[in-house]
Chain A
Amino acid sequence: MGNNLDALTTIFTEFYYWVTVVFMFLIHAGFLMYEVGASRRRNHMHTLMKNAMLIPLVTVTWFLFGWWIYFAFINGPGINGGLADAGFAAPFADIMGVNLQDHISGVFWAAFLLFSWTAASIVSGSVIERIRSGAFWIHAVLIGSVFWTIDAAWGWSASGWMVQLLGYHDAYASGVIHAIAGGYALGVLVVLGPRLGKFAADGTPRDIPPHNPWMVVLGLFMIYTGFWGFYAACNVPIINAAGIGGLMGVTPELVGETFTATTIYLTPTTLSGITFNFLMSLSGGLMVAYLISKGDAFWTFSGGLAGIITASAGNDLYHPIQAMIIGGIGVAIAYKMHFWVERRFKIDDAVGAVAVHGYAGFVGVVICGFMLWGAPSSPLPGYATINPIGQFIGAVIMFGVLGFLPAWIVSKILDKAGILRVPQRAELQGLDYHDEAAYNAAVADVQAAEKAALK
């Protein structure tokens, strides 16, 4: 920090990311409320603990190798070059701790980590009430610290090969968080199978209502709130052409002294502009979801989220009315797809996560290719421009190649080993059976002791 402006920029950036991390905690609190609210009474604690314990597991593995993968895999490796030198992000690097010469690594690491929790948490909701916790936690580490990290290195980095070669653009992570997590959830669900009683003998799906709709809706509102932090965390808050050149080691095409906020690709945007788009895509999603679901609270609120997710890929540049319409289109497609896939393939997605995140995210990436056709994907020279084909290939990579496929393979292995699904008897009795038995025994013991004191 050579002068006052450098010092202000550095400390502002450090504090900015720190605040986004605090906001994003609300996403996880929301997911916990949402999942527990959607589960039946006999499965509450299992549902809660299954999701909550992904926090430490993904955090530790993100420190050990996730963060390093993000920087090391930008070229594939093997697609646009070899493994990149990313020693600064290895767990033994001297900036992976308190270092007075570094004010960014920890907060940037944490902002990405909260995205990792979200990716794993999206999968968690789909598989409630029948997956073993141990199997889910293996999946959580894989989606949270490996596969989403690879897709971020490829398509959500200023140097990623998908950005350079395909012109891939996904400013607020329609594909790199939501499509991949939705695809991953679908891969697990195909092998895991539906909850007992979900389908009638003739294959007709039954609704399994949430035990507490209020809790589900409040959880979704908390996710909306945390999403503000997520959007802010996707930006570089303040930088200019010289700063971009210094960061990337390449002279950018951008010239002049003007400071701006940018996306993760270092393309200019404004916090003001994305605020318009966040709220208008939320509104488009809510309105279409309300109409299409005939006022169903669960789908209306999920539709708000799906509206944002669909528009997110291009919300750095869309006009607010465009964001609203795109949000509405994504919700209509995701809603219809959810019930078609449920009927056709007997997929039991307990919270509709494959639709809200996977289908909406996929559609959002594809629409972005048309809406921003020809727009520059980077301020650096030599990059492909944004285009529909690159976006479609990107969406397939996110949802299918890095999402569905590894989840299906790993689930098959876990299933063969007999550690994917809880026994049928336990599913019927409730996954909290052991906890409840201990609770009831403790209550009976205390009651007996207190009654004895009356005598």
Chain B
Amino acid sequence: MSTMGLDSWAVDLKDVGTVYPFAGSEVLMVIICLVFWLGFHVYQLKAENAQWDDSSHDADDASASDSIDRY
């Protein structure tokens, strides 16, 4: 049995609709997509916060002044 519901193209296309694999599991796929999207925000915010914390510790007045001079 094929994952996309057809074992051959011996069909009339006017009678065929969905041909993606695992049709019927759309809700599960949408949940996976939501987890992926929200997971991106969580992971990215953690990484970014850690980065800003590091850079604020490193920054002193002289290097900030150099940065302003560089424009």
Contact = CB atoms under 8 A, between A and B. Distances in A.
Interface in A299-319: 317-319
B9 A376 contact: yes
Contacts of A376: 2, 6-9
A321 B11 contact: no
Contacts, number: 92
Given A252-B9, A260-B13, A374 B19 contact: no
Interface in B1-31: 1-4, 6-16, 19-23, 26, 29-30
Interface residues of B, number: 31
Interface stretch (A212-220, A287-295, A431-439): A287-295
B43 A291 contact: yes
Central interface residue in B4, B22, B23, B40, by most chain A CB within 10 Å = B4
Interface in B33-71: 33, 36, 40, 43-44, 47-48
A322 interface: yes
Contact of B4 (A287, A294, A375): A375
Contacts of A375: 2-4, 6, 21
A371 B9 contact: no
A326 B21 CA distance: 13
Contact of A373 (B3, B26, B44): B3
Given A256-B12, A258-B14, A291-B40, A319 B29 contact: yes
Interface of A: 252-258, 260, 267-268, 273, 284, 287, 290-291, 294-295, 317-319, 321-322, 324-325, 328, 371-376, 378-379, 385
Given A258-B13, A268-B13, A374-B2, 12 more contacts: A253-B11, A254-B11, A254-B12, A255-B11, A319-B20, A319-B29, A321-B32, A322-B20, A371-B3, A374-B3, A375-B3, A376-B7
List of 3 A-B pairs having minimum Cβ-Cβ separation, nearest first: A256-B12, A374-B2, A253-B10
